[in-house]
Amino acid sequence: MIVAQDPTALRHHLDPLRAHAERVAFVPTMGNLHAGHLALVTQALETGAKVVVSIFVNPMQFAAGEDLDTYPRTLDADLSALDKIGTDVVFTPRETDIYPYGSKAHTAIHVPGLGDGLCGKNRPGHFDGVCTVVYKLLELVRPDIAIFGEKDLQQLLIIKKMVRDLGLPIDIQSGATQRAEDGLALSSRNQYLSEEERATAPLLWQTLRDCASQLQADRSADVVSVLTPATTALEQAGFDVDYLELRATADLRPIDRITEDCALFVAARLGKTRLIDNIQIAAA
């Protein structure tokens, strides 16, 4: 496995691959890798392409007061895990490699519509930061395929639109959410949870499943009649709910019944930890 620490080293390793018409698959990460990340990398390896993984904690997607400074950084362990599963290249740029004049002075990419609600409403500017760094990484790696996890479904849909709108010749693929045995979606931030909070956290996924079952059982049911008591139950269990909403996956507009492909999205804080999850629901 090759570790490229800057864009020049990355080009040095990728140019010969392109010269020999090798396909490249890319998985961007912020490190502190868990089984969810490694599942995406394994999916990339299964395409038969050479696999590049980036590790970069992107300051542009963190708002003031969020956990940029304390976000877990475990580079040695990450490199070991990636090497074990057969990753070809790991790109570990510095902040100055991505933002030469600082992230606050950098041009931002904004995807309208899809990023305005849900996490975009609760974390203003977050998706501009995500799109900007993803675009820059895609331009540096120039992959044929890039893979993103469905746990961040809003992010996945935004990136697909950005790539489509900007005409980038990249196949954006998705990887299924990986979960602990009790259903909690794997996340680097789960380690912030106390023992008591960790025991409560799976209720988020259970609530999504229960709500989806109710809405699918009676497709004429008004979503408010299902989601309002579910939100109350989460709050009584100790969650501070940012949102629990049903949205169409085509354009992320709110809908009140299952009349098309859609997803239930939830974000809630448990103690100091913000958790997100979703469940997709087919129209028929």
Which of residues 175, 198, 219 is at a domain's end?
Answer: 175
Mark whether 44 and 124 lie in a shared domain. Answer: yes
Q: Has 37 been annotated as catalytic? A: yes
Q: Which of 27, 154, 37 is nearest to 91 (CA)?
A: 27
Which one from 37, 106, 110, 126 is the annotated catalytic residue? 37
What's the rounded Cα separation, in Å, for the pair 26 and 13? Answer: 14
Residues 216 and 83 both lie in one domain: no
Q: Verify that 44 and 151 share a domain, yes or no.
A: yes
Is 13 among the domain residues? yes
Give the 3-state secondary structure of 168-195: CCCEEEEECCCECCCCCECCHHHHHCCH
Same domain, yes or no: 196 and 138: no
User: Which domain does 42 fall in, by range?
Assistant: 2-175
**Residue 116: is its pLDDT beyond 80?**
yes
Asked which of 137, 154, 175 is the last residue of a domain, the reply is: 175
- Whether residue 29 sits in one domain with residue 143: yes
Q: CATH number for the domain including 206?
A: 3.30.1300.10
**CATH at 61:** 3.40.50.620
CA 17 to chain centre: 28
Residues 9 and 104 in one domain: yes
> Domain total for the chain?
2
* pLDDT, tens only, 134-187: 999 999 999 999 999 999 999 999 999 999 999 999 999 999 999 999 999 999
Cα 113 off chain centre by: 18
| Among the listed residues 278, 85, 83, the one whose alpha carbon sits nearest the alpha carbon of residue 174 | 278
Reported as a single tens digit per residue, the pLDDT across 195-244 is: 999 999 999 999 999 999 999 998 878 899 999 999 999 999 999 999 99
Interstrand relation of 145-149 and 24-29 (parallel, antiparallel or unpaired) = parallel
The kind and range of the H/E element at 263 are: strand 262-270
